[in-house]
Structure 1
Amino acid sequence: MKRGTLKRTLAVALAAALGLAGCADLGYYWQSVSGHLQMLNAARPVDEWLNDTQASGQLKDRLALSQRIRSFAVSELKLPDNPSYRRYADLRRSAVVWNVVAAPEFSLTLKTWCFPVTGCVGYRGYFSEAEARAEADRLKAQGLETSVYGVPAYSTLGWMNWAGGDPLLNTFIGYPEGELARLIFHELAHQVVYAKDDTMFNESFATAVERMGSQRWLDSEAAHGNDKARQDYLQFDGRRRQFRALALATRLELTAVYGKKPATDAEKAEQAAMKAQALQRFREGYAALKASWGGFAGYDPWVARANNAAFGAQAAYDELVPGFEALFEREGRDWQRFYDAVKSLASLPKDERRKALENHTTEDLAQARKTGFK
């Protein structure tokens, strides 16, 4: 096949994979297709990197670790055995894409963008940070609160496995061992189940898989009994859980402030004052957490941009995780049975699947956490 024909074929496939085939915004369409093509072209099989005399020993060690994690994902977590994460690309930048999220002044409900294949999602991704920030500025001019954040990896849901799959990237290959495992498990989980038009369901499911899977990895012989990696992960994950608990408390407080009905003009001033107080309590709570962490400042950038858009985006990643954890416990901690149960939920209408997850009892969760997700 001629190179031009191949590129056109890839572009068509990518349009489907990225959900852009019917997008009226051709500029956005082409930046997405060309950005993904550049990433695919930069990727080479891990074995080539391992045999490359120009590659650093540190990179080779990380790539070898990634392949042990990848094999573990298949053998122990029953995640897909396909070409994804068996190639590596150095993009020479800090993120693969930059996501833009937006929400109204008095709501945590994210603005959505809809595409033919992936459905409606609460973010819009750009391969250029400048373009992402330009989009955020346009949304701000419409009166929305916005947040722009770099993303180390994204999933094409298995659509591009025929072309080599989703690659390992420099944007995350240097993560601590537990975090590297967590990310690979998260992205592979998206290839197991995907419910159209339900970002919260999809991201919470993948987050549940990453949490349970990464702990199982660190406790396994495959991790070579790496006590330091285990302790580093426990410390980092402990801080993450504390931060997310603080953010959840703030989300609940803001939700109560905003209420279920749009505020009248007379009510908006009072809402604005209560919102400012809630955000101030959030910042004070974060300062207290930082002090207890010995000054660890990893969440400073998030706190700096904390607004309705940022809180709304975070909710998608953890709101339904307890329900998925309880479901895993109910399915006897059997990964395949768990995935089959999640697929059944994904086939339900959105409101029904949400209710089914939220109705898992606190007793289920208490038992699961008592015995551990392994």
Structure 2
Amino acid sequence: MKDIDVCRLEWMPYTGRMILTRNWFALLPVLLLCACSTVKFYTQAFSGQSEIWRKSRPNAEALADPSVAEHVKQRLKLIEELRAFAASDLHLPTKSFGKYCDLQRPYVVWVVYAAPEFSVEGKKWWYPLVGSLKYRGFFDEKDARQEADKLKAKGYDVFMGGVEAYSTLGYLADPVLNTFLHRSDADLAELIFHELTHAKVFVPGDTDFNEAFATANAEDGVRRWLRSKGDFKTLRAYEANLSKQREVVHLMLSTREKLKAVYAGSYPSVEEERKAKQRIFDDMLRKALADGPYVKLHIHHAARTWNNARINTVATYFTMVPGFERLLKEKGGDLEAFHREVHDMRKLNNEQRMKILGTPIPSHD
């Protein structure tokens, strides 16, 4: 489909977690009541997860196998180090990443995001046990494109992306995947800590809260890990990269706010509103060109795919991050106290959590 690109978003590496339950037999009554398309979705999800189970083996076995490439073994050794640090210093559960799975493809899933043409509020899909989430994940790119086509035909803005990382949010012991072993040490550490954070605290139905918490907690974890190794050179480079990422995020979040203002306005015709919307995105691209090569690379690339759905992927991961960073600072860097506070927020509703974190409560445009 011409209007949808599959691309790697280096500054936003964790999009699209396929949600699975502990016991698939418990889903049978639900599936019997679902439409055929829903049954098809869960069938492909189970098939994809089964492939991962089938191809996984303990890290120790992969490390002892002479046919496994040396660079893979080096990454597995690093991940074992990261798991140990996550358990001892970050107080994170480490059931996952004890096995290795080579899927022999660049992405584990393909994720579809959607939003109405004149709204920045993303479409949600409901899943058993975890509630509503702002994405739909598929193990087969063809299935993802079919879903994207259907949504686009209904008038939605759609964005589809290939995803390297995968998580069942602590329900299952997720393996290390070949799809993310190419990352730098710091980026790989952030990914591992991010996914393990989901197993620590997950709030059903609040994608933005979960992803922002995992992002803030993982970034802090990388800083602690690099300091523990005395690797201050890598730490400085990591901080510099985060600073550049924030430039991109700031431009995109400010663009999202401008879009909200457009959609709240009154226009003589749908065509006039479309033109106003396009002017906002064109302005974002012009600023990306002026703000330097890093921002240009990550925003101007695939310019034609920018729409409400794609801009929402950034809001999901970063809008609440400053609030979590502030909360951790208020706890004096005490991770156990920080995690308890976040865990207790599960009892609150979305707006109450946003108020505590100092995040503006969105108005529904």
TM-score normalized by the length of structure 2: 0.85
Provide, for residues 218-249 of structure 1, a one-character-per-residue CA deviation record: whole Å limited to 9, x for no partner. 2222xx6273x435433432322211111111
Deviation at 1:299, TM superposition (A): 5.1
Distance 1:103-1:173 versus aligned 2 partners, 3 A rule: same
Greater RCO (CA < 8 Å, at least 6 residues apart): 2
Deviation at 1:345, TM superposition (A): 1.1
Matches of 2:147 and 2:91, distance apart in 1: 39
Show the counterpart of 1:309: 309
Deviation at 1:271, TM superposition (A): 2.6
Matches of 2:90 and 2:76, distance apart in 1: 20
Show the counterpart of 1:225: 231
Spell out the pairing of 1:357-368 with structure 2 (5 A cutoff). Answer: 357-358=357-358
The one of 102, 105, 110 equivalent to 1:90 is 102
Deviation at 1:172, TM superposition (A): 0.6
Assess if the C-alpha contact under 8 Å between 2:115 and 2:309 holds in 1.
Answer: yes
Name the aligned partner's letter for residue 330 of structure 2. Answer: R
Structure 1 position 79 matched with structure 2 position 92: yes
Assess if the C-alpha contact under 8 Å between 2:44 and 2:138 holds in 1.
Answer: yes
Name the aligned partner's letter for residue 126 of structure 1. Answer: F
Assess if the C-alpha contact under 8 Å between 1:23 and 1:115 holds in 2.
Answer: no
Deviation at 1:12, TM superposition (A): 7.2
Structure 1 position 203 matched with structure 2 position 211: yes
3-state secondary structure, aligned to 2:122: coil
Show the counterpart of 1:7: none
Show the counterpart of 1:5: none
Show the counterpart of 1:68: 81
Show the counterpart of 1:363: none
Distance 1:307-1:209 versus aligned 2 partners, 3 A rule: same
Distance 1:16-1:348 versus aligned 2 partners, 3 A rule: farther
Show the counterpart of 1:183: 191
Matches of 1:43 and 1:318, distance apart in 2: 32
Deviation at 1:32, TM superposition (A): 0.3
Show the counterpart of 2:343: 343
Spell out the pairing of 1:108-147 with structure 2 (5 A cutoff). Answer: 108-147=120-159
**Structure 2 gap segments, 5+ residues each:** 1-19, 361-365
Matches of 2:82 and 2:243, distance apart in 1: 22
Distance 1:174-1:232 versus aligned 2 partners, 3 A rule: farther
Identity fraction in percent: 38
Deviation at 1:269, TM superposition (A): 3.7
Spell out the pairing of 1:258-269 with structure 2 (5 A cutoff). Answer: 258-259=263-264, 266=268, 268-269=270-271
**Structure 1 gap segments, 5+ residues each:** 1-9, 361-374
Name the aligned partner's letter for residue 187 of structure 1. Answer: E
Matches of 2:34 and 2:221, distance apart in 1: 36
Structure 1 position 275 matched with structure 2 position 277: yes
Name the aligned partner's letter for residue 128 of structure 1. Answer: D
Matches of 1:55 and 1:203, distance apart in 2: 33
Matches of 1:355 and 1:216, distance apart in 2: 28
Name the aligned partner's letter for residue 134 of structure 2. Answer: G
May I ask how many residue pairs the two structures share in their alignment? 336
Show the counterpart of 2:286: 284
Assess if the C-alpha contact under 8 Å between 1:107 and 1:308 holds in 2.
Answer: yes
Matches of 1:318 and 1:217, distance apart in 2: 22
Matches of 1:47 and 1:92, distance apart in 2: 20
Provide, for residues 149-186 of structure 1, a one-character-per-residue CA deviation record: whole Å limited to 9, x for no partner. 111122212111xxxx0111111112011110111111
Matches of 2:54 and 2:263, distance apart in 1: 47
Matches of 2:339 and 2:25, distance apart in 1: 28
The one of 249, 258, 273 equivalent to 1:253 is 258
Provide, for residues 317-352 of structure 1, a one-character-per-residue CA deviation record: whole Å limited to 9, x for no partner. 111111111111111211111111001112112221
Matches of 1:343 and 1:16, distance apart in 2: 26
Name the aligned partner's letter for residue 34 of structure 1. Answer: S
Distance 1:298-1:53 versus aligned 2 partners, 3 A rule: farther
3-state secondary structure, aligned to 2:203: coil
Show the counterpart of 1:241: 246
Assess if the C-alpha contact under 8 Å between 2:285 and 2:300 holds in 1.
Answer: no
Q: How big is the alpha-carbon RMSD for the aligned residues of Structure 1 and Structure 2?
A: 2.4
Distance 1:172-1:359 versus aligned 2 partners, 3 A rule: closer
Matches of 1:179 and 1:48, distance apart in 2: 25
Name the aligned partner's letter for residue 68 of structure 1. Answer: E
Deviation at 1:101, TM superposition (A): 0.6
Matches of 1:208 and 1:179, distance apart in 2: 14
Show the counterpart of 1:354: 354
TM-score normalized by the length of structure 1: 0.84
Show the counterpart of 2:55: 42
Assess if the C-alpha contact under 8 Å between 2:319 and 2:359 holds in 1.
Answer: no
Provide, for residues 186-218 of structure 1, a one-character-per-residue CA deviation record: whole Å limited to 9, x for no partner. 111111111111111111111111221112222
Show the counterpart of 2:12: none
Assess if the C-alpha contact under 8 Å between 1:16 and 1:117 holds in 2.
Answer: no
Matches of 2:25 and 2:252, distance apart in 1: 35
Matches of 1:334 and 1:16, distance apart in 2: 38
Assess if the C-alpha contact under 8 Å between 1:23 and 1:29 holds in 2.
Answer: no
Show the counterpart of 1:32: 45
Deviation at 1:290, TM superposition (A): 4.3
